[in-house]
Amino acid sequence: MKIQIINGPNLNLLGVREKSIYGNTDFETYLDGLRKRYTDLVIDYYQSNVEGEIINKLHEVGFSYNGIVLNAGAYTHTSVAIADAIAAISTPVIEVHISNVYKREEFRHVSMLAANCKGVIAGFGMDSYRLAVESFLIK
């Protein structure tokens, strides 16, 4: 099974950025643990701070992979273009957030993407990614 994780803007700074919200671990370290836990899955990773690059990656993997785990960061709350890209592809997408966005500022309560996603996981720290990966294993 092939899973693509896509992280959007500022998520390259995990472990450095706002640690009280996003924790102390950088994504590469977390991903290493995830890959070791699911050795029979292919888990590819891509990060970009650029909206169009995230869309290009969705197009690239969105007809061949089994699942996409997408943390679009702040684009979650603004991007009609990413919402359209999710609607355009056939691979199911899980929207993921490290923080519980519903406990935070009101602008973070709105997702432009959720209605086009298979599901949404928020608020479990980095383990939000693990839960999203596991959701693809449910038969």
Catalytic residue set:
22, 97
Rank residues 29 and 64 by Cβ distance to ligand DQA and give the closer one.
29
Rank residues 40 and 106 by Cβ distance to ligand DQA and give the closer one.
106
Under the binding rule (CB under 6 A), the answer on residue 117 touching ligand DQA is: no
Question: Taking a C-beta distance cutoff of 8 angstroms, is the pair 104, 71 a contact?
Answer: no
Q: How far is the CB of 63 from ligand DQA (least distance, A)?
A: 25
Query: Biggest alpha carbon distance in the chain?
Result: 40
Question: Closest by alpha carbon to 128, among 102, 82, 94?
Answer: 94
- What is the C-alpha to C-alpha distance for residues 33 and 45, in angstroms, rounded to an integer? 13
Report the site for ligand DQA in 13-52 (rule: CB under 6 A): none
How many residues form the binding site for ligand DQA (CB under 6 A)? Answer: 10
Question: Closest by alpha carbon to 87, among 67, 58, 65, 56?
Answer: 58
Q: How far is the CB of 57 from ligand DQA (least distance, A)?
A: 17
- What is the C-alpha to C-alpha distance for residues 118 and 13, in angstroms, rounded to an integer? 27
Report the site for ligand DQA in 49-108 (rule: CB under 6 A): 71, 73-74, 76, 97-99, 101, 108
Rank residues 20 and 39 by Cβ distance to ligand DQA and give the closer one.
20
